[in-house]
C-alpha cells in the first residue's frame, strides 16, 4: 500500500532546510520528492513512481542503490564496529582501505589522511600544503592558484579556492585571496583547433602566473579533466602534463581534486592517469564509498609526510581532525567498492556503456539549440544555447534547465541540469536500454525547453 507523497512533503517542509535550494521554489514550481527506496539505478517515491538516477545522486553512486554486495559489507561491519576515534586507535577497514588505495593510486601517493566529505578533503589539502611549506622554512609560500570556473566545495577554504560565482560571490568578504588563471576549457577553443592545441595554448596563462608568483604560492589546485560543477566543461590531459612539469620547475604543489572525477568517471580509475602524472595531493570522496556513506581522503607523498614527522615539541604535526574521520562503516564500504571494481572489471565494462551513451547523446549535436555535446568517459554533457551561430547563452533567469528537470521527473528520469547544460553521470549498473530512456527523455526535455 502506498501512502502517497503528500504527508511526507508537508512534514518535510515544516522543518527540513534543503541544500542548494531556494525553499520557496518547493511551494511553487518544484515538487519535493520523498524517496521510499532505491534499487539499482532506480529511485521510488511514496506514490510508487520511479525515477532513473541519471546523475548518481549528486555524482556519488557507482554500483546502484541497495547494491547487495555493498549492503552485505555494511551489515558485516556493523556487527563488529560502527565507529571509533582514529586518533590513538585504528581499525582493519581503514588499514585495508589505505593499502588498497595506495595500490591503485598514481605511484608515490603512499599516505592517506581521512576526513568525511569532499569539502573537508579540500580543506585538508590546502592546509597541508601551506603547512608543509612552513615546516620546511618557506613561510612566504601561502597563496593558492586556481582555474576560472573551478569548484572545490562549499566550506570557506574550499569556496575560496573555487571560482563558480553563483556559490562564491556573496561570501567573498569572508574568503582568502587566491590567484585565478583562465581555465583550459575546450568549449572555448577556436574553430579548427584541437582540444590538445587549445589546452596547450591556455597553459601560457598558468606559466605567466607561476613565473612571478611561485615564491609566494603553496599550490595549484585543479579538477583534472572535467570541471563538473562548472557546467561539465572539459579540457585535454596535456594541460595536466604541462602543469605537473611547471609545478616541479617552480617548486609548487599540485592538488588534484578528484572528488567528482575519481573512481572511473572519466574512463580511467583516476583522471590524472590520462596525463600520466602524480599530483602532490589527491582529494577523493563521493565515489570513494560508491555513494553510500560520507568519507573522504587526501592522498599524499612520503616527502610531504616527512615534513610533519618530528619531535612533538617542534609542533610540526598536522593537528587537523573530524569526529568521523575514517569511519569504519564507510571504510568497509569503500573496500567493498574497490573489490567490485577489480572482480567485475568495471573500467573495461564501462567502455561499452560510455560508447553507447556518447553515440546516443551525439544525435543531439544537430539540434538548433545545442552548441556542443562533449564526453569524457562516463560523463556526457549537452550545452544548450540561445543562438547556435554566436553561442549566445540563454539568460540564467529563464531557468531553461528547470523545464528539463521537471519534464524528467514527469517521465521518470532524474536529470538535474547545471545552468544550461544537461548532463549524464549515471551509476555504472545502467543498461543500454536505460541509457536510451535517459537520452530520449533528455531530448524531449530539451525540445520543450528550447521551443520558443
CB of 404 to ligand PMP, least distance (A): 20
Taking CB atoms, the residue at the shortest distance from ligand PMP is: 118
Asked whether the CA dihedral 235, 349, 106, 151 is positive or negative, the reply is positive
Of 292-311, binders to ligand PMP (CB under 6 A) are none
125 is a site residue for ligand PMP (CB under 6 A): no
User: Residue 59's beta-bridge partner residues?
Assistant: none
Contact (Cβ atoms closer than 8 angstroms) between residue 258 and residue 270: yes
329 is a site residue for ligand PMP (CB under 6 A): no
DSSP labels, 10-47: HHHHHH---TT--GGGGGTT-----EEEEEBTEEEETT
285 is a site residue for ligand PMP (CB under 6 A): yes
Tell me whether residue 381 or residue 449 sits nearer to ligand PMP (CB atom): 381
Tell me whether residue 152 or residue 335 sits nearer to ligand PMP (CB atom): 152
Could you say which of 64, 118, 157, 326 contacts ligand PMP (CB under 6 A)?
Answer: 118
Tell me whether residue 151 or residue 405 sits nearer to ligand PMP (CB atom): 151
**Cβ-defined contacts of 167-172 (< 8 Å, 24+):** 167/229
Tell me whether residue 407 or residue 427 sits nearer to ligand PMP (CB atom): 427
Could you say which of 53, 257, 372, 383 contacts ligand PMP (CB under 6 A)?
Answer: 257
Q: Residue 11's CB: how many other CB atoms inside 10 A? A: 11
Helix axes 328-343, 68-80, angle to 10 degrees: 150
CB of 149 to ligand PMP, least distance (A): 12
392: cell is 549566445
Binding part of the chain for ligand PMP, among 116-124, 245-253, 315-323, 395-403 by CB under 6 A, reads 116-124
Contact (Cβ atoms closer than 8 angstroms) between residue 393 and residue 438: no
229 is a site residue for ligand PMP (CB under 6 A): yes
Pairing label, strands 253-257, 281-284: parallel
Which H or E run includes 256? strand 253-257
117 is a site residue for ligand PMP (CB under 6 A): yes
Could you say which of 52, 94, 109, 122 contacts ligand PMP (CB under 6 A)?
Answer: 122
Print the binding letters for residues 141-180 with ligand PMP: x by CB under 6 A, - otherwise: ----------xxx---------------------------
For residue 382, which phi and psi values (nearest 5 degrees)?
-120, 115
Distance CA 163, CA 158 (A): 10
Tell me whether residue 230 or residue 408 sits nearer to ligand PMP (CB atom): 230
How many residues interact with ligand PMP (rule CB under 6 A)? 14
110: cell is 603512499
CB of 279 to ligand PMP, least distance (A): 13
Distances (CA, A) of 76 to 79, 81, 294, 373, 393: 6, 9, 18, 43, 51
123 is a site residue for ligand PMP (CB under 6 A): no
CB of 108 to ligand PMP, least distance (A): 22
CB of 14 to ligand PMP, least distance (A): 26
Q: Residue 20's CB: how many other CB atoms inside 10 A? A: 9
Print the binding letters for residues 364-403 with ligand PMP: x by CB under 6 A, - otherwise: ----------------------------------------
Distances (CA, A) of 254 to 196, 250, 416, 439: 20, 11, 31, 36
Tell me whether residue 109 or residue 228 sits nearer to ligand PMP (CB atom): 228
Distance CA 202, CA 204 (A): 5
Which H or E run includes 325? none
CB of 3 to ligand PMP, least distance (A): 31
Tell me whether residue 53 or residue 257 sits nearer to ligand PMP (CB atom): 257
353: which DSSP letter?
A: H
228 is a site residue for ligand PMP (CB under 6 A): yes
Altogether, the residues listed in the chain come to a count of 452
User: Residue 51's beta-bridge partner residues?
Assistant: 43
Binding part of the chain for ligand PMP, among 34-42, 213-221, 223-231, 386-394 by CB under 6 A, reads 223-231
Provide the binding-site residues for ligand PMP, judged by CB under 6 A: 117-119, 122, 151-153, 223, 228-229, 257, 259-260, 285
Amino acid at each position: 500500500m502506498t501512502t502517497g507523497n503528500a504527508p511526507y512533503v508537508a512534514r518535510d517542509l515544516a522543518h527540513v532546510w534543503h541544500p542548494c535550494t531556494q525553499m520557496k521554489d518547493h511551494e511553487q514550481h518544484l515538487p519535493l520528492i520523498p524517496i521510499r527506496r532505491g534499487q539499482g539505478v532506480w529511485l521510488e517515491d511514496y506514490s510508487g513512481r520511479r525515477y532513473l538516477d541519471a546523475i548518481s545522486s549528486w555524482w556519488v553512486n557507482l554500483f546502484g542503490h541497495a547494491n547487495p554486495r555493498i549492503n552485505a559489507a555494511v551489515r558485516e561491519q556493523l556487527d563488529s564496529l560502527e565507529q571509533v576515534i582514529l586518533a590513538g586507535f585504528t581499525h582493519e577497514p581503514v588499514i585495508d582501505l589505505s593499502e588498497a588505495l595506495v595500490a591503485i593510486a598514481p605511484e608515490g601517493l603512499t599516505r592517506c589522511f581521512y576526513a568525511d566529505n569532499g569539502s573537508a578533503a579540500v580543506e585538508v589539502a590546502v592546509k597541508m600544503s601551506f603547512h608543509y611549506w612552513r615546516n620546511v622554512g618557506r613561510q612566504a609560500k601561502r597563496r593558492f592558484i586556481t582555474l576560472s570556473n573551478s569548484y572545490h566545495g562549499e566550506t570557506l577554504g574550499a569556496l575560496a579556492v573555487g571560482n563558480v560565482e553563483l556559490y562564491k560571490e556573496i561570501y567573498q568578504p569572508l574568503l582568502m585571496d587566491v590567484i585565478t588563471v583562465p581555465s583550459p576549457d575546450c568549449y572555448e577553443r577556436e574553430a579548427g583547433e584541437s582540444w590538445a592545441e587549445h589546452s596547450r595554448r591556455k597553459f601560457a596563462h598558468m606559466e605567466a602566473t607561476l613565473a612571478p608568483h611561485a615564491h609566494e604560492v603553496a599550490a595549484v589546485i585543479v579538477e583534472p579533466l572535467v570541471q563538473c560543477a562548472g557546467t561539465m566543461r572539459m579540457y585535454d590531459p596535456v594541460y595536466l602534463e604541462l602543469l605537473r612539469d611547471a609545478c616541479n620547475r617552480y617548486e609548487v604543489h599540485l592538488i588534484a581534486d578528484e572528488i567528482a572525477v575519481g573512481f572511473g568517471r572519466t574512463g580511467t580509475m583516476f583522471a590524472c592517469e590520462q596525463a600520466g602524472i602524480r599530483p602532490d595531493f589527491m582529494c577523493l570522496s563521493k565515489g570513494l564509498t560508491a555513494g553510500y556513506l560520507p568519507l573522504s581522503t587526501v592522498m599524499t607523498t612520503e616527502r610531504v609526510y616527512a615534513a610533519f614527522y618530528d619531535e612533538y615539541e617542534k609542533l610540526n604535526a598536522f593537528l587537523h581532525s573530524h569526529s568521523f574521520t575514517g569511519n569504519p562503516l564507510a571504510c568497509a564500504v569503500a573496500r567493498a567498492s574497490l573489490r567490485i571494481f577489480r572482480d567485475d572489471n568495471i573500467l573495461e565494462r564501462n567502455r561499452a556503456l560510455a560508447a553507447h551513451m556518447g553515440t546516443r547523446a551525439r544525435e543531439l549535436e544537430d539540434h538548433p539549440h545545442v552548441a556542443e555535446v562533449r564526453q569524457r568517459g562516463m560523463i556526457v554533457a549537452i550545452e544548450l544555447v540561445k543562438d547556435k551561430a554566436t553561442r549566445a547563452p540563454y539568460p540564467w533567469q529563464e531557468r531553461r534547465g528547470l523545464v528539463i528537470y521537471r519534464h524528467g521527473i514527469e517521465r521518470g528520469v532524474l536529470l538535474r541540469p547545471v545552468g544550461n547544460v544537461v548532463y549524464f553521470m549515471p551509476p555504472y549498473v545502467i543498461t543500454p536500454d536505460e541509457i536510451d530512456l535517459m537520452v530520449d527523455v533528455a531530448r524531449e526535455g530539451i525540445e520543450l525547453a528550447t521551443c520558443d
